[in-house]
Amino acid sequence: MDKTADTKIRAELAEIGLGWANCISWNQTAAALYQQAIANGEAQVAEGGALVVSTGQHTGRSPNDKFVVRDETTEKTIWWDNNRAMSREHFDTLKEDFMAHARLKSLYVQDLVGGADPAHALPTRVVTELAWQALFIQHLLIVPKSRKGFSPKLTIIDLPSFKADPARHGTRSETVIALDLKNGLVLIGGSQYAGEIKKSVFTVLNYLLPAKGVMPMHCSANLGAKKDSAVFFGLSGTGKTTLSADPNRTLIGDDEHGWSKTGVFNFEGGCYAKVIRLSAEAEPEIHATTQRWGTVLENVVMDPDSHKVNLDDGSLTENTRAAYPLEAIPNASETGMGPIPKTIIMLTADAFGVMPPIAKLTPQQAMYHFLSGYTAKVAGTERGVKEPQATFSTCFGAPFIPRHPSVYGNMLKDLIAKHKVQCYLVNTGWTGGAYGTGHRMPIKATRALLAAALSGKLAKTRMRKDETFGFMVPEAVAGVPKKILNPRSTWADKKAYDAQAQKLATMFVTNFKTFEAHVTDDVKKAAPKG
């Protein structure tokens, strides 16, 4: 770094309270960060070269410890029913204590970008106290071709060793994720889970982009040979990453995207894949990254002698993850951009076993299911869960939604209508009965149905109307057992199916009452018969 650039960065850090730089490493390469993480004792090297790290007590995000500063900027723009407020006074105290704590640490700075489209990119400076976290976010965000003239619009400071004081800082616990949207500053403390950094960028983009007419989306995206983009909405465990990593299509990105007037673009430069019980046969591209130099494996169990990882071992957490740059996927896009989507896929893992493997949605039904954001938890995934439980996460990402869901829902509805986008709901969950009785939807059948949808063939297939949910379901698709297209026929006890379908429909209707005042009558009529 030349002296001019060094002076500029020092001045920018001084503006937010870090007016010193004796122990700060600037924009180190992946190799340097990799080496530093090992030297610091932060990580171990697995067979093949991946870095294995433990995130301690936090093996996932802490949504109840996430706060947004409530001030004149955010008072009328934030969906406060879904976002915890922090006063300006508490944030300023937290910031002061953060900076004092940071003075005792060696820090790693990465200047990166959120957003592959230059017109909507968010220059982001990430400051961490752990070298592996700096490597993680270098994988996950976009490394600019040149840092000349780089000026951050967002700064994230992550200090896992910092412990918040609820009485002093207005927090719920010692863990804190605090977003000051007015000043573009995020403070993360008390958690080593690096997903908090990545999702903070996503949350900020979710706040900023709607005002520019760009729809932010919690989705994966890929591109066909005919330049036909497709987006895949879905919560964790529904197959969003798996199904978008199609060897016959170009991967644009696996988790976060924007939809502008010119097309779809990735927010990230890498992938953050769930790897618990990952199969080399079913998901070869993703599996290969777990044996790749530089991949960061979070909470994956490794044999201490052989250094072989065991992806089937969930003893630390079911949320084991791999973070790697997009270039690790053989058919990944070099630009992270694609044209206007022609197909939208909404993924759900229905553990009740009543949803068909695929259904065609009208624009109104698409908005209804987008606002609902349905999937289901199965027994054993959380303490006390003994039978399938419905999970509704609006916009398929409620924890990252700062504005009211109707803002995003109406944008999606308008985009679908304007561009005549084909929309499908895909169930990657259970068939032949609920979880415990039935079995998981065959991935080969899901891939065949997706291929038919993405090629346009499914839109021309003869369909029937589902009596409970009202959407259209194909009667026959090549390569797919006809029986599973009608979930009722896969149940031995038809009356049990009817009762289960009605139970789920009622859950949909009850959940949607939150949004009824914000949608038009035609969207309300898209509800199941609950």
Return d(Cα 320, Cα 325) in angstroms, integer: 17
From 54, 55, 58, 61, the catalytic residue: 61
Q: Annotated catalytic, 218?
A: yes
Q: Which of 236, 262, 393, 506 is catalytic?
A: 236
Out of 90, 198, 218, 404, the active site residue is: 218
Decide: helix, strand or coil at residue 24.
Answer: strand
| Catalytic residue, candidates 70, 198, 240, 404 | 240
Active-site residue flag, 240: yes
Q: For every residue of 203-253, which 3-state class applies, written as one string?
A: HHHHHHHHHHCCEEEEEEEEECCCCCEEEEECCCCCCHHHHHCCCCCEEEE
236 is catalytic: yes
User: Does 464 participate in catalysis according to the annotation?
Assistant: no
Say if CB 20 and CB 103 are below 8 A apart.
yes
What residues form DSSP beta bridges with 285?
Answer: none
Kind and range of the H or E run holding 259: strand 256-259
In angstroms, the CA 498 to CA 481 distance is 22
Helices (H), 237-312: 240-244, 284-289
What is the rounded distance in angstroms from the CA atom of residue 328 to the CA atom of residue 311? 19
Catalytic residue, chosen from 139, 169, 321, 403, is: 321
- Measured from the Cβ of residue 72, the count of other Cβ atoms closer than 10 Å reads 8
Q: Which of 55, 171, 238, 241 is catalytic?
A: 241
From the list 95, 125, 199, 360, the catalytic residue is 199
For residue 66, the cross-strand partners are 177
Using the 8-state DSSP alphabet, how is residue 441 labeled? Answer: P
418 classed as catalytic: no
199 is catalytic: yes
Of 97, 180, 255, 350, the catalytic one is: 255
Is 483 among the catalytic positions?
A: no
Annotation marks residue 158 as catalytic = no
Q: Where are the alpha helices (DSSP H) in 352-493?
A: 363-372, 405-419, 443-455, 487-490
Sign of the C-alpha dihedral computed for residues 287, 292, 295 and 297 taken in this order? positive
Q: Give the C-alpha separation, 438 to 414, whole Å.
A: 38
Sequence-separated (6 or more) residues with CB below 8 Å from residue 305: none
Specify the 3-state DSSP secondary structure of 381.
coil
Q: At a CB cut-off of 8 Å and minimum separation 6, what does 437 contact? A: 353
Q: How far apart are CA 358 and CA 461, in angstroms?
A: 12
> Tell me, what amino acid is at 504?
L
H-helix or E-strand containing 344?
strand 341-348
Catalytic residues: 61, 199, 218, 236, 240-241, 255, 321
